[in-house]
Each structure stands twice: as C-alpha cells, then as structure tokens.
Amino acid sequence: MIINDEHYNLESRKDEFLNSKPFPHLQLKNFLKKDFFEDFQNTKEDTTSKNSGKNFETDVEDKKWISKNSELSSITKKIIDELSSDLWAKNLRDLTGISDLFCTTVGNTDLANYHEMKPGGLLAPHVDHSSEPKTGYPHVLNIVVYLTKEWDTSWGGGTDLLNNKGSKIITKVPYLPNSAVIFLHTPFSFHGVSRINEKAKFVRKSIYIDYYSQSFDPYKHINLDFKNKWFEHGTTFVLPKFNSYFKKENSLYRKIKLDYLINKFFN
C-alpha cells in the first residue's frame, strides 16, 4: 500500500471531521509513503498532446490543465487505484458515517482525476457536479492530494472552503506537499483555489477523486450550518463580478447557475 498506514484509521478523526467549518473536512499530513512520494516526482504526465487533456483560460478557471488521458502514468494510476479501493472506501465510510459510500468506476476520461495549475492560475469558488455520471447517485465526498514536492505557502495554492453561497472564504486549507484534503461534498460545499502567486516556482499538481452515496438523503445524520439536503446540479461557479454573468463567453456558466438556483428553491 502506498498511503501511510496511520491514515487507515480515519474513524478516530470523525469528530474533528464533522465539526470543521464551514463544512466537514480534514487535512491528512504525510499522506503517501515517503519513497512513493519521491517516485512520483520523477513521473510526468503528457500535458501537451491534443487528446491528453483540456486547458482552461476563462474568468473562473485559469492556467489550469486537467487530464483526460485514458492511460495515466503507472505511478499516478497507483494513487488513483488505492483511493478507489474497497479498503479505502471503508475507511471513508467510518470517517463520514455515510454507510453506503462508494467509489465510481467512471475513470479519468470522464472525471479528470489529475490536475495541473501554473503560476497565476485560478479556480473560482464552485460546487462540483452533484451526481455520479452513470447512476445519478449523489456526490458526497472529495479528496484532493497535493503532489508538488517543493511549495512555499506564500504562493497560495491551497483549497479555499467558503460559506454556503460561495461568497466568502471561511477556511483556507494550505498547500502542504504530500498532504491530502478530504471534504464533504454537498450542494453548498463551495470550494476553490485563489489565484496562485505569479512568482510561484513550480506547477501545482494534484489528484482529485470523488465519492458517491447510494442514498438520496446522504447527509441526514450530519448537522450542517446549512440545509442538509441534496439536489441535482452541474458544476456551478460563482463568477468574480456580477457583470461577468452577462458576458457572452460566460453564457454556459450563467445557465448552470440559474438551474442551480431553481433546483435549490424547489428543494
């Protein structure tokens, strides 16, 4: 196994997870075994060829590249495989109390598990897609693993967790190399990455995996600072300025936001 053994007992951190604000989350330090983390530093994903991924240069996603490769490097794949294993899923069920949490088998071509962000990059506040692409089951949990070895926290690059409207940052989980961030995903779990300092010396690398629940009322046992209901929505961004919603190039973001607000109202 490549994840440090101490992180296979997440039940012991359940209270810490559930009581974190603005919504349940946890940072796991020294996440991957040291030798494996070193090995990862020698691997490179193909970020240049046309079919390998997608680049973003918009108001809400900038200098960001996501992998759509059906074949990732064997090292990257090992991390994804362990985070999708039965044993790890059980660990997450114990942490969250979501007894029917499961890993998706949809894979990288659909869900883009490997990300890179260049200096100056940005990922504006958003909630992810609400549903598993194949079954429609609720998206309930995320893990992000920080994989760049050398990183100065003054460059930014951590994960911002925001209030339930996505308008105010409440917590910043710092980009600590070889740490992982786990957070509960709900229709109100707004998160993002503030603009990375242009002076950052390295690319921000991360792996992202999401988890789902077979229940359509997956948060009922969790006390949240907002309505603990799930509803359907696409990846919904909060645009930087109100005016931004009226720009032609943002029409898709505007449409998704409107759908989100309608579904929120009727739930």
Query: Which residue lies nearer to Fe ion by CB, 60 or 103?
Result: 60
- Where in 42-61 is the site for Fe ion (CB under 5 A)? none
Helix residue ranges per DSSP H, the chain = 14-19, 34-41, 74-83, 86-96, 108-111, 251-265
- Buried b / exposed e along 18-36 (16+ C-beta atoms within 10 A): bebebbbbbbbebbbeeeb
Query: Which residue lies nearer to Fe ion by CB, 128 or 132?
Result: 128
106: three-class secondary structure by DSSP = coil
**Whole-number minimum distance, CB 237 to Fe ion, in Å?**
10
Give strand pairing partners of 111. none
Query: Which residue lies nearer to Fe ion by CB, 128 or 160?
Result: 128
- Where in 125-184 is the site for Fe ion (CB under 5 A)? 128
Query: Which residue lies nearer to Fe ion by CB, 96 or 159?
Result: 159
Burial class of residue 242, CB neighbours in 10 A (0-12, 13-18, 19+): exposed
Query: Which residue lies nearer to Fe ion by CB, 61 or 128?
Result: 128
Nearest residue to Fe ion by CB is 128
Q: Which helix (H) or strand (E) holds 217?
A: none
- Mark 111-130 with x for binding to Fe ion (rule: CB under 5 A) and - for no binding: -----------------x--
**Whole-number minimum distance, CB 74 to Fe ion, in Å?**
26
Return phi, psi of residue 263, to 5°.
-65, -35
**Whole-number minimum distance, CB 137 to Fe ion, in Å?**
18
Q: How many residues bind Fe ion (CB under 5 A)?
A: 1
8 A C-beta contact, residue 211 and residue 102: yes
Query: Which residue lies nearer to Fe ion by CB, 45 or 160?
Result: 160
**Whole-number minimum distance, CB 66 to Fe ion, in Å?**
11
**Whole-number minimum distance, CB 191 to Fe ion, in Å?**
6
8 A C-beta contact, residue 179 and residue 31: yes
Contact footprint for Fe ion (CB under 5 A) = 128
